[in-house]
Amino acid sequence: MATDLETFRSWAGVLADLDGTMSLLNWDRDTTMPPSGAGTRAHQTATLATLYHRELTRPEISGVLEAIANSVAIDAQTRRQAMLLGHRRARAVRLPERLVGEISQAESESVVTWREARERGDWAAMRGPLTRLVALKRREAEAISDDGLRYDALLDGFEPDARAADLAPVFVDLSERLAPLVAQGTNRPAIELPERYWPPDAQLQLAHDLAQVVGFNLADGCIGVSAHPFSNSSGHGDVRFSTRIDERNPISNIRTVLHEAGHAMYEQGFSADFARTALRDAPSLGAHEAQARFWENHVGGTLEFWRVIEPRLHELFPDAMQGLGAEDFHAAANTVRPSLIRVEADEVTYNLHIILRFELELGLIAGTMEVADLPEIWNSRMHELLGITPTSVITGVMQDVHWPEGMFGYFPTYTLGNLYAAQLAEAADTALGGLQAAIGQHRFGDIVAFMRERIHQHGSLYPTPELMMRATGHPLSADPLIAHLERRVVSSMASVARQ
């Protein structure tokens, strides 16, 4: 057993090292690498992925995992880690190498087509590659599925321990209760900041200041700039995130910093004991996203938050801030309007975009829906959910890269993140004697400490549903998110009135 344990730990360590290295290759690609290095980088990433797969599926590990699973003397952390890696390994072993190759090729073809066909809204060009990819993803799901729904096998790659049958009723409940809120929000005037020049240097300084204010530890990480913001963990002691800077509007940068710092503080909060183990991770993307949405929406959407940073905004942007105050930002950040593009959607309508995608990919993978029919179904469901209809696939079914990338089962993690974030905000509200009050009193340390204790430190020691039940006392539900959005629509009205 001692040897098995040693083998297991060294194996898990090598996997963690390769994982962290692949993260770094991506970080560098998006923040630093000259574009001409793309071909070289693609080879490096592919080679690392191959070596990771080879290491993950090493035959002799099978016996080691079995010995750990069957031992009664093993500690809970090692047992959970062996379970997580064993599960990942089983999925990898079940996938025939040939199918992996076919999928990888179909994904490349499909992404390349998407990149050049999207701009001209050329659905005819997209249909073929996407149809082939969906057929392959159905086969992938068959191959790795235990016995449940094919879709669940894909969902499991992003949100382990979730099943479509559990998510669907919550998502339906959510969509029904969002409809009146959208109507209510839309009745209010849409507020925008006046167009002014917000110098990029000062915005980058603001990103650092803000990250530090909320509790991101800059001694254990760094901040970069990239076209698509992301957070990135190379491993213990090295957590990074990037932001996006729009010279004409500072809100995108501010919301992005809160969102990515939410992800990054989660990674900084994992127990140090989990370094180089599979426990040094969130149990699911939904759990990870919940941290980001908590900071972006439940902190960043409050008037209190904007009051906290207002003085710093005046210092950094003396010209652009003339005549502007916290209320203006609060009102602008909380405007509700049905729109066609998911990534530009407000907090209220956002989840309807996800629910649409969830329904469609569920049908596609089950085989009850075909790629050829996507634009029509998309447009009609979009109209039912949000009351608007795309006039082109550019603002319809072709807007996201996820499906061309083969990421089926990924979209629901966004709404899971929103649902869990609202549940956590409710728990934080109770624990801190009022979340908004805590924000207004600059007690960000208390908020982080709450998350550290209930969520961060545990890494992936518990499955997401268990982690959330421990942290909030409730199972997954739409109630807290609906209650939060109702309050938000009302509260932001005061700021609108003061405009």
Closest CA to 233 of 201, 204, 274: 274
Q: Is residue 125 helix, strand or coil?
A: helix
Assess contact for 448 and 454: CB atoms under 8 A. no
Q: In what order do the strands lie in the sheet with 238-243?
A: 221-225, 238-243, 231-235
Q: Which of 260, 289, 359, 361 is catalytic?
A: 260
| DSSP H/E element including 452 | helix 444-454
Nearer Cβ to a copy of itself (173/220): 220
Give contact residues for a copy of itself (rule: CB under 8 A). 13-14, 16-18, 20-21, 24-25, 28, 32-41, 43-44, 46-48, 50-51, 218-222, 234-238, 275-276
Nearer to a copy of itself, 28 or 173 (CB): 28
Q: What are phi and psi of 324, to 5 degrees?
A: -105, 150
Tell me how far apart the 2 most distant CA atoms of the chain are, in Å: 70
Minimum separation from the CB atom of position 30 to a copy of itself (A):
13
Residue placing its CB nearer to a copy of itself in the complex, 114 or 216:
216
**Smaller CB separation from a copy of itself, 275 or 469:** 275
Kindly report each contact of residues 322-325 with a partner whose C-beta sits within 8 Å and lies 24 or more positions away, as own/partner.
Answer: 324/193, 324/194
55 or 429: whose CB is closer to a copy of itself?
55
- Of the pair 263, 488, the CB lying nearest a copy of itself is at 263
CB 224 → a copy of itself: shortest distance, Å? 8
Question: CB of residue 230 vs a copy of itself: minimum separation in angstroms?
Answer: 15
Q: Rounded to whole angstroms, how far apart are CA atoms 255 and 267?
A: 19
What whole-number distance in Å separates Cα of residue 254 and Cα of residue 346?
Answer: 15
SS percent in the chain: helix, strand, coil, step 5: 70, 5, 30
Q: In 249-349, which residue ranges form alpha helices assigned H by DSSP?
A: 251-269, 285-293, 303-316, 326-333
CB of 241 to a copy of itself, least distance (A): 12
Shortest Cβ distance from residue 268 to a copy of itself (Å)? 10
359 is catalytic: no
- For residue 38, the minimal CB distance to a copy of itself (Å) is 7
Our CA angle for 362, 414, 233, nearest 5°, is: 120
Catalytic residue positions, numbered: 260
